[in-house]
A and B are shown apart, each in its own frame.
Chain A
Amino acid sequence: MTLTDQMTMAKPNPELQKKIFSRLVNIHPDECFQCMRCTSGCTSLKLLELKPHEITLLVTTGFIDELLSSDIIWTCAACLKCRERCPQKASPYNTIMILRNLAVEKESKVPEAYMKAMSQILETGLMQQETPVLSREAKPFNRQTLGLPKLHYPKPKLQEILMKILGG
């Protein structure tokens, strides 16, 4: 379902809108005047049809639920061109990250790889397990055989703190 299709039954959600504004630091979506500079240089425009100026417009007009159930918020490549080029400090990048956070809180459809990375970080502090690498000749190497020092993982206290943050 495209965003436009969803808009036929859309209702603004001022509460969620307030939540977004309160979480943004020094970013002001309400200052956006739709110059579309973000969209004209967007990495994901051509491939995934992301139009960041539309995201900002939907947020400033309160149509947040529609954004949260659309997968368009997961198409940002985080290249930060919009953040650099926005003349109004209204960067869609940071808004998109908050929208993703809200989608997670609402238990909307979240790409699995993100959840996997998160649970790995909760477990060890790192986003990936230590795995052997293969040389071009497919010979396996690990930190030890490469002469790299052993990793010292964070103590379990980190997990406790992260759980506290994730629990709100």
Chain B
Amino acid sequence: MSLREVTPHFNIELIDLHETSCCGGPVRSINTKAATYLSIRNLALAEKSGLKNLLVPCNECHFMLCEVSHRIQLNQQLHNEVETLLREENLQYPTTVKIWHTIDLFHDLITPEKIRLRVKRPLKGLTFAAHPGCQIIRPSEIGRVDHPEKPRKLETLIKALGAEAKDYPEKLDCCGAALLYSHKEAALSLAGSKLKSLQEQGFQALVDTCPYCHIMYDAKQKEAVSTVGGKSMIPVVYYTQILGRALDIPSEKLGLHLNQTFTTEDVEF
């Protein structure tokens, strides 16, 4: 919702792709080839639409699409197999589509300077923790949006809104979402430990760029924090939600009423 609201402010038009499917993320554990097909098929649909850029606002989907393209390029047999299957759906092997994520779209294409110029309501006095997540920065060999060990772009994007973004020791800690399938307690405890520590360090909110991380830190926060013996809550937002507020877009249009993690003394974004 918030992405759809903010992109027009930067002259970017989003067009919905029809007939897309799951990226194959959960399928790679069951059958890697089926996951490969699901991923490449989505890219092929983008190619068929004639558009040159595909925005993938999820760390895992972005990883799957990049990883699969990388694997297929290195394996001619897999390439041929996939190409034959795509033809059954009247699709062609994609070669030209560029894959974007929220972080590089705003940091590398739109740029923090331009964002700063558009900000109408600077988010002064707020200190955010940035959580870029795992799969969007690793592995660097397949081309990721930021440094694998020292990611800085999300912080720069937060600072462009007039807010503070402080570094913290748990920045690279995983949200645990992938463990929800098999080890729920461990997944919740991973998310909970990070949230608890962020609160102790005095952050006003956590900013993420991945729906999976967002489920762990927002929708499941109550459970996660109580798993590690914590009590209070910390607001969690997707980057374009606070960007939207800085552009003076009403909260409801940005889906902020759907975030589960606002305390009674709501942070005024």
Stretch at the interface among B116-124, B153-161, B239-247, B254-262: B254-262
Using Cβ atoms and an 8 Å threshold, which residues of chain A touch B21? 121, 125-126, 154, 158
Q: B38 to A121, Cβ gap below 8 A?
A: yes
Judged by a CB distance under 8 angstroms, whether B171 is at the interface is no
Judged by a CB distance under 8 angstroms, whether B16 is at the interface is yes
Residues of A within 8 A of B (CB): 23, 25-26, 43-44, 47-48, 71, 74-81, 83-84, 91, 97-98, 100-101, 104, 110-111, 113-115, 117-118, 121, 125-127, 133-137, 141, 146-149, 152-155, 157-158, 160-162, 164-166
List which B144-184 residues lie within 8 A (CB) of chain A.
148-149, 172-174, 176, 178-183
Question: 30 A-B residue contacts at CB 8 Å?
Answer: A23-B32, A25-B75, A47-B183, A74-B183, A75-B182, A76-B178, A77-B190, A81-B138, A83-B139, A97-B28, A97-B32, A100-B30, A101-B29, A104-B29, A104-B30, A111-B182, A113-B181, A114-B30, A117-B22, A117-B26, A118-B30, A121-B21, A121-B22, A136-B258, A152-B16, A153-B19, A158-B89, A160-B88, A162-B34, A165-B31
Residues of B within 8 A of A (CB): 1, 4, 16, 18-22, 25-34, 37-38, 41, 63, 71, 74-75, 78, 85, 88-89, 134-135, 138-140, 148-149, 172-174, 176, 178-183, 186-187, 189-190, 255, 257-260, 262
Assembled-state Cα–Cα distance A115/B18 (Å): 26
Using Cβ atoms and an 8 Å threshold, which residues of chain B touch A84? 138-140, 148-149
Nearest CB to that of B219 among chain A residues? A133
Q: A77 to B78, Cβ gap below 8 A?
A: no
Q: Nearest Cβ in chain A — how far from B253, in angstroms?
A: 8
Q: Nearest Cβ in chain B — how far from A28, in angstroms?
A: 12
Q: B37 to A165, Cβ gap below 8 A?
A: yes
Using Cβ atoms and an 8 Å threshold, which residues of chain A touch B176? 43, 77
Assembled-state Cα–Cα distance A166/B37 (Å): 11
Choose one: A83, A111, A149, A166; the contact of B34 (CB below 8 Å).
A166
Q: Nearest Cβ in chain B — how far from A137, in angstroms?
A: 8
Nearest CB to that of B184 among chain A residues? A113
Interface centre among B138, B173, B176, B262 (most CB of A within 10 A): B138
Interface centre among B4, B16, B26, B176 (most CB of A within 10 A): B26
Nearest CB to that of A153 among chain B residues? B19
Using Cβ atoms and an 8 Å threshold, which residues of chain A touch B178? 76-79
Q: B183 to A75, Cβ gap below 8 A?
A: yes
Q: B26 to A127, Cβ gap below 8 A?
A: yes
Using Cβ atoms and an 8 Å threshold, which residues of chain B touch A104? 29-31
Assembled-state Cα–Cα distance A147/B190 (Å): 34
Assembled-state Cα–Cα distance A104/B32 (Å): 11
Choose one: A117, A146, A152; the contact of B27 (CB below 8 Å).
A117
Q: B255 to A146, Cβ gap below 8 A?
A: yes
Using Cβ atoms and an 8 Å threshold, which residues of chain A touch B34? 162, 165-166
Using Cβ atoms and an 8 Å threshold, which residues of chain B touch A98? 32
